[in-house]
Amino acid sequence: MSASNMVINKKKIVTILVSAIGYILMVGVAILFLLPFYWMFVTAVKPANEIFAYPPLLWPSEFHFENFVDSMKSSDFGTFFKNSTIVTTCATVITVFINLLAGYAFAKYDFKGKNVFFMIVLSTLMIPTQVTMIPNFIVMSKLNLLNTYTGLILPPCAEAFGLFLSRQFMSELPDELIEAARIDGATEFSIFRKIILPNVGPLLSVLIIFTVMWRWNDFQWPLILLSKSKMYTVQIGLSMLNGSNYVNWNMLMSASIISIMPVIVVFFIFQKQFIQGIASTGIKG
C-alpha cells in the first residue's frame, strides 16, 4: 500500500471516529434532555405508593392511565385548557401580524428617525416584565378589562423580539420585487400580502413557535389580571393542583403532560421551517 493511500485511509478513520464521537455526544445530550419528560410520564402513570419508593422505580409495576382523565376533570381543568387555547390562538395571530407589519416597515421603508425608533423599540428588551406589570394592570382596570380575554391577550402583543427578527429577515428580501409591484400599480398592503408574506415562511414559523410557547406558558400576567376561576388558564390551573399540605403527584404530572402537548404539536408542525428561519434571521445588516 502506498504512502498516499495510507494517509487517505488514516484521514477516513479519523473522520469516522470524530463523527461517531459527535453522534454519541448528541445522543447523550438528547437523553439528558428527554429524561425529565420520561420521569414526568412515569410518575403520571405510577401507582401512588411507588412514587416515593426507594430506590426509585424506573418502570411502574402497573399503569394508571386514568390519571389523565382525572386530571382533566379536577379543578375544571378542561375550562382552563379552553381559556389558554383561546388566549394563545388570538394572541399569536395578533402578535405575528404586528411583528410582520412593523418589521416590514423598518426593513423596507425610509422615514425620518427610523433607526432611532428602532433602537428605542429594541431597548425595551432590557426592561424586566415585572416593571410593566403594575402599569398594565392599572390600564386594564381603568378600561374594565380585568377577568376578560381582551385583557389577557392585548397588553403583551406588541413585543420587540419578534419585530427584530422580522426586520432582520425582511431586510434580506430584494427591493426589486417591491419596486416591480409598485410599478404594476399594487397597493402597499397588496405588496405585503402577495409578495412579502409568501416569501417569509421560515420567519412565520419562528414567530408562531416562539409566540405560542410564550403565551401558552405565561403565568405571571394571568395571575395578576384574573380573580375569577372561570377565566383561569392552564398554568394557573396547574398551580392549583399543588395542595398546601399534600401534592398529588400523579395528577400534577399527568396534567403537566397534557398542558405541554399543544406546544409540542405546534413545534412539530413548523419544525422544518423553524430551523431555516433561525438561520435566516441572524444578526446581519
pLDDT value of residue 59:
83
pLDDT value of residue 285:
41
DSSP-derived letter for residue 247 is B
Counts of helices then strands in the chain (DSSP H, E): 13, 0
> Contact, 162 vs 96, CB < 8 A?
yes
In whole angstroms, give the CA distance from residue 133 to residue 139: 10
Q: How far is C-alpha 158 from the chain's CA centre?
A: 16
pTM for the full model? 0.79
Phi, psi of 45 (to 5 degrees): -105, 0
pLDDT value of residue 277:
56
Q: Is 166 left (phi over 0), alpha (psi -120 to 50) or beta?
A: alpha
What does the pLDDT profile of the chain (285 residues) look like in tens digits? Answer: 555 555 566 777 778 888 888 889 999 998 898 888 888 888 888 887 777 777 877 888 788 788 787 777 776 788 888 999 999 999 999 999 999 999 888 888 888 888 898 888 888 888 888 888 888 899 999 999 999 999 999 888 888 888 888 888 888 888 888 888 888 888 888 888 888 888 888 888 888 888 999 899 998 899 999 888 889 998 888 887 776 567 777 888 888 888 888 888 888 887 776 666 555 554 444
Which residue in 198, 201, 218 sits closest to 263, CA to CA?
218
